[in-house]
Each structure stands twice: as C-alpha cells, then as structure tokens.
A = this chain, B = another copy of it.
Amino acid sequence: MRATVMNKAGDVAIAHVPDATILHPTDAVIRVTRACICGSDLWPYNDGPNVAGQQMGHEAIGVVEAVGSAVEKIKVGQVVVMPFAFSDGTCLFCEDGLHTACNHGGFFGVGGEIGGAQAEALRVPFADGTLYPLPVGEDDALMPSLLTLSDVMGTGHHAAITSRVRQGGVVAVVGDGAVGLCGVIAAKRLGAEQIIIMGRHQARLDLARAFGATDVVSARGEEAIEQVRSLTQGLGVQSVLECVGHAQAIETSMGIVRKGGAVGRVGVPHYPAIPAAQPMFFGNVTVAGGPAPVRAYIDELLPEVMDGKIEPGRVFDRTVTLDGVPDGYRAMNERSALKVLIRP
C-alpha cells in the first residue's frame, strides 16, 4: 500500500510499504478516507524524523476493513474517527479520561511498528478503546469538522479545559494555527466573554474572529504582554491557551496570565523548564496541559459538530490526494496553507 514517509528533514514522500494487517487480536485495520497534516508534523519535517522512513500522520477518519478476534465493539464497515493516540480504554488512566496516559497506549505516526495515518490504510491497536464510530456515511459533508475530533478540536478543547476557561471568562489564545483556532472555538463554547487571539496571519486572525475571538494582538514579546494587559484593565487573562510550544510562547503566557489564572499547554514544549517560577508562585498561577485525551472529548464535542454549532473543519484551507502530500507539507511549512486535508 502507499503511505507517507519522512526520509530526512525536508524529504517527505509517498512510498510503497507493507500492507496494514491485523497483528494482535485487539487490532483493527481501517481504510483511511480522510487524513491531514498537523502542525506537529512540521517538527520532524524541519528537524528530522525519529527514524528514517518514519510513517507520518496521526489524524484519520476511515472505514473499518478488518478486526482482530478480541475486538468486540468495533465492526467491519463502520465509519470511525481515530484519535492521534491509541489507548486500551480499560486502564485506570483511560477510566479517568486521560487516554493519552494509557498504560498500553502510544502515538500514531512516530515511527516504529505503529504506522501513520497519511496512508491508504492503517493498523489501529486496541480498536475498541481507540476508535469512535461516527453516525455518518464516509463522504458526509461534515467530514472536515469530524476529522478535527481526531486531534486539533480536542486539543484546543484540552487547552481550554486545563486553563480553566469559565463562563464570562477572560481568555488569551497564544498561536493562530489550527489548534489555536480550535482553542478559540473551545473557549467560546465554554462561555468566555473576552477571547484575545495572539498571532500574525491575517487570514487566520479573520477566522479566529469568525470563531469568536474579540481582540487581536499581533505584537511579540514584552509589547504583546503590554497589549494584553492594556486590554484587560492591567490584570491579564484568567486563562491562557498555549498552542505553540516555543520558549517565547511560554514566556508570553507567563507574562499575560492573571493572578489565580491558569496556563493550559498543548503546544509540544521545545524548552526545558517553565520560566518565572517565583512570579508564578506569588500569583498562584497554575500551569497544566499536555497531550489531549481527545478520545475522552468526542462524546461532548461530536453532537455540536453534528448540529453545526461548531465548525472546526473551517481550519482546512487545502485538500490534496496522497500524491499531493509533499506539496501539502511545503505549503504548511511556508504558512501558505493553514491545514491540509488529505483524501487518500
């Protein structure tokens, strides 16, 4: 079958790889009908893969083609959304709703035995715990928004939950990528009254406003911090959704958070320590977040996607086939595309 592989930094290609098959009784194999490229795929695209030939992609919707002998809930023929992490669904972490800490879990698209979603098909470990059946046909018009439940919408929601967005809250979203934009949607639906989007790309900022952002800050560093403070009576924001992961993003987050407020991190941190441990302490500031347990959030978010109450699929601004994936990486890396949808 054909799949996306990362050979080395900047060298992403479509290659023939062994067909996805059932390896364990709890596996399923899905035919991928929708996948996409993630902002986090740009880290190995720029810095090099975990392993040469790393199979890429961790977001998918597909049709179940086969299930192992121990799979009980997932059935052949179902249309399913696949969270970016697999999870057994039964360990104490899964039962607690933290599927990304599953005792037997892991991540798709990171190399090794686990495949990637930017492919014709994919083996899914722990199918019953991982996959979530969708109440639609495989070409439903809602596919783009449904696909975001595999990562970016659930991740934006996690940033909002871990930064404790509340009714009437004052919020800033650091980063105008797809996750940041989904963070705006999440903050809005949780009742935030003021939502400051921090970014520099006009089309994305326009989309943020359409999703509910009330203010835009495009400055960086100290100037950005001052602007957020002046938008919030000098107090800063109660909730910071940190959707980037750069050192400057966490520094800005610590600079704009209000006393008693919280920073919810969902950008994979490319810094070794949380700065400002003392002001953070004296301000009773909370830092939380991590890989989003998107599997746990589908129950809450799916009905609103189905109703059209939220439209996170609007983050996709380009669609490619598998052959177009290398171009898709280039476009996202150059910021000429926001998020690229793949129809294998």
**Interfacial residues, chain A to chain B (CB-CB below 8 A):** 93, 96, 98, 100-101, 162, 250, 259-260, 262, 265, 268-269, 271-278, 280-291, 293
> How far is B291's CA from A274's CA once the two chains are assembled, in angstroms?
19
Copies of this chain in its oligomeric complex: 2
Q: Which residues of B contact A293 (CB under 8 A)?
A: 284
* Cβ contact within 8 Å between B269 and A101: no
* B residues less than 8 Å from A284 (CB atoms): 98, 100-101, 162, 288-291, 293
Selected from B93, B269, B276, the residue in CB contact (under 8 A) with A281 is: B269
List 30 contacting pairs A-B, 8 Å CB cutoff, sorted by A: A93-B260, A96-B260, A98-B259, A98-B284, A100-B284, A162-B284, A162-B286, A250-B277, A262-B288, A265-B281, A272-B276, A272-B278, A273-B273, A273-B274, A273-B276, A274-B277, A274-B280, A280-B290, A281-B289, A281-B290, A283-B290, A284-B288, A284-B290, A284-B291, A284-B293, A285-B288, A285-B290, A286-B287, A286-B288, A287-B287
- Set of chain B residues within 8 Å of A162, measured between Cβ atoms: 284, 286
- Chain B residues near A268: list those with CB within 8 A: 281
The answer to whether B283 and A101 touch across the interface, beta carbons within 8 angstroms, is yes
A286 to chain B, nearest CB (A): 4
Q: Knowing A98-B284, A284-B101, A287-B286 touch, does A275 contact B273 (C-beta < 8 A)? A: yes
Instruction: Evaluate whether A269 and B278 lie within 8 angstroms (CB atoms) in the complex, with A259-B101, A286-B288 already known.
Output: yes
* Residues from chain B with Cβ under 8 Å of A98 in the complex: 259-260, 284
Smallest distance from the beta carbon of A285 to chain B beta carbons, Å? 7
Interfacial chain B residues near A281, Cβ < 8 Å: 265, 268-269, 289-291
Which of B93, B259, B265, B285 contacts A259, CB < 8 Å?
B93
Other contacts beyond A269-B281, A273-B276, A285-B288: 5, CB < 8 A:
A98-B260, A262-B288, A273-B273, A281-B290, A287-B288
CA A275 to CA B272, docked complex, whole Å? 7
* Least distance between A63 CB and chain B CB atoms (Å): 31
Q: How far is the CA of A282 from the CA of B276 in the complex (A)?
A: 20
Most chain B beta-carbon contacts within 10 A, residue among A93, A260, A276: A260
Measured in the bound complex, the distance between the Cα atoms of B287 and A284 in whole Å is: 10
Contacts of A100 in B (CB 8 A): 284
The residue on B at minimum CB distance from A97 is B260
Which residues on B sit within 8 Å (CB–CB) of A101?
259-260, 283-284
Residues of B within 8 A of A273 (CB): 273-277
Can you name the residue of chain B whose Cβ is closest to the Cβ of A250?
B277
Complexed CA–CA distance, A259 and B290 (Å): 10
A282 to chain B: closest CB distance in Å? 6
For A270, the closest partner residue in chain B by CB is: B278
Q: How far is the CB of A281 from chain B (nearest CB, A)?
A: 5
Closest to A92 in B: B235
A230 to chain B, nearest CB (A): 17
Nearest chain B CB to A32's CB is how many angstroms away?
26
How far is B123's CA from A335's CA once the two chains are assembled, in angstroms?
60
- A58 CA to B154 CA, complexed, in Å: 46
- Taking CB as reference atom, which chain B residue is nearest A292? B284
Shortest CB–CB separation between residue A279 and chain B, in angstroms?
A: 10
